[in-house]
Copies of this chain bind each other. A is one copy, B any other.
């Protein structure tokens, strides 16, 4: 066992589910370039996704085929269960070369296998599959029926196995420790970078039983007027009394993420922030209360929306998304969103991050919950108070 993470049966089941979805969608071959999907299908790990690479899944093949940069083939041998014939390195001069592209090599491989007339699915809006990558495949495989697979593997990933949920429960321990560190360290006069240094330490050192992996998104830390927008990061300026800071971060265990967001105010908070915090928590709990197998994502969001409407708050962005394996730049799974119009039906062992953030002009608040759908409703991964943290 070379992957050191899941049993062979787990990978066999994943591959069977993907092939069933391929059959249903009419694909003979998938070209998978999203690193989270490559990992899901093979166990492949390594920060090599900054160059083009792919896992091919062919309906008639027992195992997928990894194609990547020569120097990364060793990582495929170490982290996957693929046989040597299923690990196909491309020469280094394909890297960042104006005259040829790694997807030209992938197309050559596909032709070499006689698959050039296949119905080929690509992840047309996946990360690390550029316009040029798509054009290279289209140009080099003119007889293929090539089309977007619409995140086919992501949609298979949406229902988690017990082994995956076990990883996410461990990730929850990591994010609890990191968030507690953030709350403890954020104080007037402390440099933001010093608090974040300790947050990273907690994320990675983890517990005596297990450590943490890198997270797909770095700790987000809007502070002061920056809390009106969610994706700012830290500086080396000090935190200030009278200002709020939003912390959004995750723990990652073997690439599986459990995210969490909280908001800290240094000193007595403005009334509008304290009031909004109460509404957000009430709305969050209403959304979690609407979670059950058979409900839709839109129905979960509607439960939130009813609460905030009663308090005169309007929010036009989604309040959550499916989570699982994450690679930079995102721990979201790019499938179901908790928002109006999303008719995805909840099933047991789907996992979500419900993060109903409110961002106004120069102020905002985030209090979130990650959960797994069970027959009894939403089972939260983390045990952490749902409140605006006030440090006086």
Listed in ascending order, the chain A residues whose CB lies under 8 Å from chain B are: 45-50, 70-75, 78-79, 91-93, 95-96, 98, 101, 122, 124-135, 148, 150, 191-194, 196-198, 200-206, 210-214, 217-218, 220, 225-226, 228-236, 316-318, 321, 328-330, 332, 334, 337, 339, 341, 357, 359, 361
Contact = CB atoms under 8 A, between A and B. Distances in A.
B329 A49 contact: yes
Given A50-B217, A132-B125, A205 B193 contact: yes
Contacts of A92: 316-318, 339
Contact of A129 (B93, B130, B229): B130
Contact of A329 (B50, B205, B231): B50
Contacts of A329: 47, 49-50, 128, 328-329
Contact of A200 (B98, B133, B197): B197
A128 B341 CA distance: 26
Nearest to A51: B330
A46 B233 contact: yes
A233 B213 contact: yes
Given A71-B359, A124-B132, A128-B127, A229 B46 contact: yes
Contacts of A236: 206, 210-211
A214 B218 contact: yes
A218 B47 contact: yes
17 contacts: A47-B220, A47-B233, A75-B232, A79-B232, A92-B318, A93-B339, A96-B337, A124-B131, A125-B132, A127-B127, A131-B131, A132-B148, A193-B206, A196-B204, A211-B235, A213-B233, A214-B218
Nearest to A337: B96
Contact of A217 (B47, B75, B148, B361): B47
B45 A232 contact: yes
Contact of A198 (B79, B101, B125, B201): B201
A231 B74 CA distance: 9
A236 B208 CA distance: 10
A173 to B, nearest CB: 13
Nearest to A68: B231
Contact of A134 (B46, B48, B134, B357): B134
Given A96-B321, A130-B134, 14 more contacts: A47-B233, A71-B359, A72-B231, A78-B229, A92-B317, A95-B337, A122-B131, A124-B131, A125-B132, A191-B211, A193-B206, A193-B212, A194-B211, A200-B200
Contacts of A122: 131
Contacts of A339: 92-93
* Residue of A92, A204, A359 ringed by the most chain B CB atoms within 10 A: A204
B197 A233 contact: no
